[in-house]
């Protein structure tokens, strides 16, 4: 199995949205996008694969060192091999990947997200940056025009993902919702984590955070509409967001306990529809 095939296989099983997005990209760009997305998946799921934060820190340090020092001659890691080739071929900034690793340190611990500024910075270094790098792979010259779309789009992706994973994060005492945002709603993180919050309080938090997500989605959509079509595949993972938001709205406070998911067929239909229409729903 080639390095690129390994990346595609990893995405097919671990990140269905981004796997589908690569299939709608020009064939010459698919392997590079797959390498980027496979790396993102690899560092994003570290918390799910470890018991001790120190092990996660070691894994992130491995990636930082391997990228900064280009260790591909002495390391057969297929994701690393594919990623470093992509970085070279598309003149991507190594610093961007190091920042992605740095941001993922937060995932390893149960520290509270202090405020909205910290949350938006986290979104930028874990989601927006992936969109921006995808745009650079697709078309370097027009990628600079996608900055705002990537910024808002990353926040949207993060909010949708965090709300969907609330049962998981809550079960391990981890909370990504900004403390100042929750306190302004008259609720505390402790009451939510300990299941002491009332149904009305949980609903208030979910509805407010959902409203924030939709506000960023409106801004993303406005910026996306002016982008050249060559960049559209980078943003296809956001095709499911309106549907996910509707499901979350229906569940409201129950999403602290209930899983929100879409069938593979529904995913594919939303991607196809968005790709054919050329605009976000």
CATH 3.20.20.80 is the classification of domain 110-281? no
The pTM score is 0.95
Please report the pLDDT score of residue 195 as a whole number.
82
Contacts of 266 (CB under 8 A, 6+ apart): 243
Res. 204 pLDDT band, cuts 50 70 90: very high
**Is the four-CA dihedral 11, 176, 137, 273 of positive or negative sign?**
positive
Q: What rounded mean pLDDT belongs to the chain? A: 92
What is the spatial distance between Cα 219 and Cα 84, in angstroms, rounded to a whole number?
33
Rounded to 5°, angle at Cα 120 from 179 and 83: 130
Please report the pLDDT score of residue 76 as a whole number.
84
Span(s) in the chain for CATH 1.10.600.10: 110-281
Res. 281 pLDDT band, cuts 50 70 90: low
Q: With b meaning 16 or more CB within 10 Å and e meaning fewer, what string describes 235-246?
A: bbbbbbbbbbbe
Identify whether the C-beta of residue 167 lies closer than 8 Å to the C-beta of residue 258.
Answer: yes
Res. 246 pLDDT band, cuts 50 70 90: very high
User: Burial, 7: exposed, middle or buried (Cβ in 10 Å; 0-12, 13-18, 19+)?
Assistant: buried
The alpha carbon of 183 is separated from its chain's Cα centroid by a whole number of angstroms, namely 25
Residue 10 pLDDT exceeds 80: yes
- Averaged pLDDT, 140-154: 96
Helices marked H in 70-195 = 78-90, 94-103, 116-123, 129-138, 140-143, 147-164, 166-171, 179-183, 189-193
């Amino acid at each position: 199995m080639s390095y690129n095939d390994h990346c595609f296989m990893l995405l097919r099983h671990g990140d269905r949205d981004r796997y589908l997005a690569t299939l709608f990209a020009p064939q010459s760009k698919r392997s590079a996008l797959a390498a980027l997305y496979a790396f993102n998946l690899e560092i994003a799921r570290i918390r799910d694969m470890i018991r001790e934060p120190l092990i996660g820190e070691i894994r992130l340090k491995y990636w930082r060192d391997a990228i900064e020092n280009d260790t591909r001659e002495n390391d057969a890691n297929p994701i690393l091999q594919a990623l470093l080739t992509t970085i070279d071929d598309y003149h991507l900034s190594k610093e961007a990947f190091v920042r992605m690793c740095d941001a993922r340190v937060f995932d390893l611990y149960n520290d509270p997200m202090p405020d909205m500024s910290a949350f938006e910075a986290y979104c930028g270094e874990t989601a927006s940056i992936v969109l921006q790098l995808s745009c650079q792979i697709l078309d370097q010259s027009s990628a600079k025009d996608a900055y705002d779309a990537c910024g808002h789009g990353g926040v949207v992706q993060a909010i949708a993902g965090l709300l969907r994973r609330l049962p998981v994060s809550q079960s391990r005492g981890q909370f990504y919702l900004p403390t100042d945002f929750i306190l302004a709603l008259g609720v505390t993180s402790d009451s939510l984590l300990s299941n002491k919050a009332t149904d009305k309080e949980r609903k208030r938090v979910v509805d407010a955070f959902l409203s924030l997500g939709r506000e960023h989605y409106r801004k993303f959509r406005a910026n996306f509409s002016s982008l050249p079509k060559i960049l559209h595949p980078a943003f296809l993972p956001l095709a499911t967001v309106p549907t996910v938001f509707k499901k979350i709205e229906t569940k409201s406070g129950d999403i602290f306990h209930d899983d929100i998911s879409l069938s593979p067929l529904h995913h594919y239909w939303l991607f196809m529809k968005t790709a054919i229409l050329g605009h976000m729903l």
